[in-house]
Structure 1
Amino acid sequence: MAEASIPSERYKQGLVTRRSVLGEAHVDRALANETPFDQPFQQLITEGAWGSVWSREQWSKRERSMVTIALLAALGHDEEVAMHIRATANTGATRDDICEALMHVAIYAGVPAANHAFKIAKATYAEIDAAKPAAEEQK
């Protein structure tokens, strides 16, 4: 870390939470690709998003997952929508939960945003489903 050689407790907690939601492989890739240029940003999101918000006890990871996907869909952050759809395997948000969240997007953020998010969700779930037999064969 550029500013401090010892990670803060919030960073450590954020990293634990980030790994539990996005998975070890995703976080390992993000950290491996970290450069001095984006290190402050990685620290910010790990401490802020994951250490301060996602680590709070008031909502479950399932609830946070649904709200996050709805917000990302409403804002048109397509890659993040797909990433968080994949993370539902770790948060406990079901496909029915995500359908309901995207129905809310349609009413409160617009049908085009929800329509596009449904398209992303369907494609992401198809990728997940296609990978299941390969993953099961490797066991």
Structure 2
Amino acid sequence: MGELHQPSRRYREGLAVRRSVLGDAHVDRAERASTDFDRPFQELITETAWGNLWARPGWTKRERSMVTLALLAALGHDEEVAMHVRATANTGATREDICEAFLHVAVYAGVPAANQAIKIAKQVFAEMDAESGAK
């Protein structure tokens, strides 16, 4: 652990995509919080989720964002739902897109999962609106 190595091309691509979706502030916080213990995990998700999956051609960031939100909501990963709702400011997924994704969750994964995701999204939207001065 803690061993220094040259990041792979896929890691570098993943880091760029991760920053473009989640924002520099989020990624910088995650990197600062990383320790020798969890650094391998951070490298894994950056290379695999962001460099192998989110960087693939074929789907837009908007489409990936909607699918990701639906999956996270269906699985009850509330913190990740909040993070990815916030990330839609960078992916192009609209509030209407998010609503549609959560309607799918209600039918295919259960009303309680969708209800919780909608509650989280409303809270995140209120925070985002307050930050931007919108109503």
TM-score, with length taken from structure 1: 0.93
Task: Give the secondary structure class of the aligned counterpart of 1:36.
Answer: coil
Taking the aligned partners of 2:70 and 2:100, their CA distance within structure 1 comes to 9
* Structure 1 residues 93-108: aligned runs within 5 Å: 93-108=93-108
* Structure 1 residues 1-139: aligned runs within 5 Å: 2-133=2-133
Letter of the 2:49 counterpart = A
Taking the aligned partners of 2:13 and 2:110, their CA distance within structure 1 comes to 36
Taking the aligned partners of 1:46 and 1:117, their CA distance within structure 2 comes to 25
Could you list the runs of 5+ residues in structure 2 that have no partner in the other structure? Answer: none
In the TM superposition, residue 58 of structure 1 has moved relative to its aligned partner by 1.2
Query: RMSD over aligned Cα, in angstroms?
Result: 1.3
Letter of the 1:22 counterpart = L
> Quick one: percent identity of the two aligned structures?
71
C-alpha offsets along residues 44-102 of structure 1, whole Å, 9 cap, x if unaligned?
Answer: 00000000000001100000000000000000000000000000000000000000000
Q: Deviating runs (4+, > 2 A) in structure 1?
A: 1-4
Could you list the runs of 5+ residues in structure 1 that have no partner in the other structure? Answer: 135-139
Taking the aligned partners of 2:46 and 2:58, their CA distance within structure 1 comes to 19
Taking the aligned partners of 2:51 and 2:103, their CA distance within structure 1 comes to 29
Letter of the 1:99 counterpart = C
Taking the aligned partners of 2:109 and 2:99, their CA distance within structure 1 comes to 15
TM-score, with length taken from structure 2: 0.96
